[in-house]
Amino acid sequence: MAKARTIFYCTNCGNESSQWAGKCSSCNEWNTLKERVLEKTIATHDRREVTNTEKTPVKFSSIDPTNDSRIILNDKELNRVLGGGLVPGSLVLVGGDPGIGKSTLMLQLALNNPGLKIIYVSGEESEKQLKMRAERLDSNTSDFYIFTGTNTNTIRSISREIEPDLIIIDSVQTLYSPVIEGSPGSLSQIRETTSELMQYAKQTNTSIFLIGHITKDGAIAGPKLLEHMVDTVLQFEGDRNYMFRLLRSQKNRFGSTNELGIYEMTGAGLREVENPSELLINQTDSGLSGSAVACTVEGMRPILIEIQALVSTAVYGTPQRVTTGLDSRRLNMLLAVLEKRCGFRLGQKDVFLNIAGGVRVDDIGIDLAVIAAILSSNLDIAVPGKVAFCAEIGLSGELRAVSRTEQRIQEAEKLGFEEIILAYQGKKEAKLPSVDIKVSTFKRVEEVFKHLFG
Ligand code: TYD
Ligand code: MG
């Protein structure tokens, strides 16, 4: 028998080391290192080698990739994020905060794809609870299997019998494998169960969706290493006070990670949102001060969003700067630029900034709209007409061009805007699409200010 060896692993990031330390050398967390005896894992390794003996090497040129044509799901947003449909035999991890809608998304997937044989493995809810939940959803078109066990051996033997096209596991933290010690949700169990499922997926060409919980700081709970093992990592996010849910791809072996899926949480489940701009802009309230529309790009899609600002005299000594949906450091930078380069005195004012709809935006192309909203609120004059903005602001108050300008212009035109304000791009302007919307370009913030408010 092999001599038992112990290693220390970090319960936060999964990093392994041969010695104990108070602080993890990888993620710098304190007191997260736990000891583990390696003997058992060696044993499982041997077992796996034995079961794999029937595999033989194949010539690379003889592999036909077209055999693996993608499964087109009955969910456009999910297809888009997966890179054009689900690849058979792929293992997809879906992470997200508790209560964000992961189970709902997966249950709808099971209910809406009559062409697929699906097993939904639920370690968190009973059959009855799932049925009750399904009754709330208005889509009830297809039948599927529900299994409420958590032992991976049973799950695999059931799957061999039923031969599904797709297995959904809710959640990976509830699974356990009898070949290894440790309670469900522990690092060693998560690692073992995921690798067993990975093997099953590859051997039988069955796709598997794994739901994973995330920790307080947003990582998939347990190990970072889970993300390395699976083919695709999707993150489901959104502000729980709002109805929007964004599905982002963080890693995708079979497609781009730039894609974004947008859903709306309704009383009857998640609804795909094909045209987010229409929902994010408050069309009826035009004419109010402190509001400006930015033309941003999320993933590959142009989206118009409304930026709202409130500038008021500070009541307390230190002025407040509060942002929702935008990085507050970016706001501070923009305020400093306005103060230093353009002479607007905002130092003694409170500034509140809000992106409507509860979406979070990282795109710097919204800078100009943020500034327009702040100036509009400060003057208490509405931005005149139906104007959209799209430019980055540099530290000397200059407007800078951003990526995908053509798409942004077309989106603004599609939504009935009369004018779009962009950065002056010199020669590049010749390439802009010929559109009916008025395209105004400027070099500096002061020029935009004069153009808007005279
Ligand atoms: P759920 O899918 O259980 O979240 P997760 O699996 O990510 O923890 O979603 C639960 C939330 O969604 C819950 O707060 C209620 C809400 N919800 C709706 O608003 N409408 C619905 O039709 C359903 C099923 C849930
Ligand atoms: Mg759930």
What pLDDT, on the 0 to 100 scale, is given for residue 295? 92
Cα torsion 304, 307, 308, 314 to 10°: value is 180
228 lines ligand 1 (CB under 6 A): no
From residue 131, give the alpha-carbon distance in Å to each of 73, 146, 157, 168, 338.
Answer: 22, 10, 24, 16, 56
**Quick one: CATH architecture of 278-453?**
2-Layer Sandwich (3.30)
Ligand 1 centre distance from Cα of residue 136 (Å) = 10
Closest ligand to C-alpha of residue 135 is 1
The secondary element (H helix, E strand) that includes residue 248 is strand 244-252
Which of 106, 265, 266, 271 best tests ligand 1's pocket when mutated (most atoms within 8 Å of CB)?
265
The sign of the dihedral angle between the CA atoms of 287, 246, 252, 63 is negative
95 lines ligand 1 (CB under 6 A): no
What pLDDT, on the 0 to 100 scale, is given for residue 53? 46
> String of b and e for 123-148 (b: at least 16 CB within 10 Å)?
bebeeeebeeebeebebeeeebebbb
Which of 100, 103, 104, 108 best tests ligand 1's pocket when mutated (most atoms within 8 Å of CB)?
104
Residue at 407: amino acid letter: Q
122 lines ligand 1 (CB under 6 A): no
Separation of alpha carbons 206 and 361, rounded Å: 36
What pLDDT, on the 0 to 100 scale, is given for residue 43? 46
Among residues 187, 190, 185, 231, which one has the least CA distance to residue 209?
231
Average per-residue pLDDT for the chain: 84
173 lines ligand 1 (CB under 6 A): no
| CB neighbourhood size of 227 (10 A) | 17
**Ligand 1 atom, smallest distance to 136 CA:** 22
CATH number of 69-274: 3.40.50.300
What pLDDT, on the 0 to 100 scale, is given for residue 360? 82
What pLDDT, on the 0 to 100 scale, is given for residue 211? 93
From residue 132, give the alpha-carbon distance in Å to each of 5, 80, 126, 135.
Answer: 48, 29, 10, 5
What pLDDT, on the 0 to 100 scale, is given for residue 67? 57
The structural domains of the chain, with segments of one domain joined by +, span 5-42, 69-274, 278-453
What pLDDT, on the 0 to 100 scale, is given for residue 374? 94
Any idea what DSSP says for residue 3? Answer: P
Closest ligand to C-alpha of residue 173 is 2
Separation of alpha carbons 188 and 302, rounded Å: 42
Among residues 210, 106, 94, which one has the least CA distance to residue 152?
210
Separation of alpha carbons 168 and 157, rounded Å: 15
Ligand 1 centre distance from Cα of residue 74 (Å) = 20
- Which of helix, strand or coil describes residue 372? helix
Q: What is the mean pLDDT of each run of 10 residues along the chain (454 residues)?
A: 67 77 84 71 46 68 73 92 92 90 93 92 91 82 88 93 94 89 82 92 94 68 71 87 85 85 90 82 72 88 90 87 91 92 86 86 92 93 90 93 88 88 74 79 92 88
**Ligand 1 atom, smallest distance to 269 CA:** 22
Closest ligand to C-alpha of residue 107 is 1
Query: Order of strands, edge to edge, in the sheet holding 321-324?
Result: 321-324, 349-355, 301-313, 291-298, 387-390, 419-423, 438-442
Q: Is the fold of 69-274 the same as that of 278-453?
A: no
243 lines ligand 1 (CB under 6 A): no
Q: How far is CA 123 from the centre of its chain?
A: 24
What pLDDT, on the 0 to 100 scale, is given for residue 217? 59
